[in-house]
Amino acid sequence: VPPDNVALPVNGGGLRSRWLRLRERCLTSPVFHRFALAFPLTRPVVRKRQAELFHMVSGFVHSQVLLACLELDVLHTVRGEGATLAQIADLTGLAPDATRRLIEAARALRLLEADGELYRPGDLGAALIANPGVQAMVLHHKAFYADLGDPVALLRQSKGNTQLARYWRYATSDDPANSSADDVSAYSDLMAESQRMVVCEVLAAYDFSTHRRVLDMGGGQGVFLREVLNANPTLEGILFDLPAVASRAQTSFEQTGLSARVEVKGGSFFEGDMPSGADLVSLVRILHDHDDPAARLILKAAWQALQPGGKLLICEPMQMGKVSAHMCDVYFNFYLHAMGSGTPRSVGALREMALEAGFSRAKPVSTRSPMITGIIVCEK
Ligand SMILES: C[S@@+](CC[C@H](N)C(=O)[O-])C[C@H]1O[C@@H](n2cnc3c(N)ncnc32)[C@H](O)[C@@H]1O
| 285 contacts: CB under 8 Å, gap ≥ 6 | 191, 198, 218, 315, 316, 373
For the CA of 192, the nearest atom of ligand 1: 9
pLDDT at 9: 66
pLDDT at 175: 85
Q: How far is the CA of 165 from the centre of ligand 1 (A)?
A: 14
pLDDT at 229: 97
Identify the residues whose C-beta falls under 6 Å from ligand 1.
170, 176, 191, 195, 198, 218-220, 224, 241-242, 245, 268-270, 284-286, 289
- Are 296 and 353 in contact by the 8 Å Cβ rule? The answer is yes
For the CA of 195, the nearest atom of ligand 1: 9
Shortest-distance Cα residue to atom 24 of ligand 1: 218
pLDDT at 12: 65
pLDDT at 320: 81
- Are 194 and 219 in contact by the 8 Å Cβ rule? The answer is no
Which segments in the chain show pLDDT lower than 50? Answer: 1
For the CA of 219, the nearest atom of ligand 1: 6
CA angle 377, 379, 380 (to 5 degrees): 145
Kindly report the number of other CB atoms within 10 A of residue 89's CB atom.
19
Query: Residues 330-372: pLDDT tens digits?
Result: 999 999 999 999 999 999 999 999 999 999 999 999 999 998 9
Pairing of strands 118-121, 278-284: unpaired
Query: Residues 68-106: pLDDT tens digits?
Result: 999 999 999 999 999 999 999 999 999 999 999 999 999
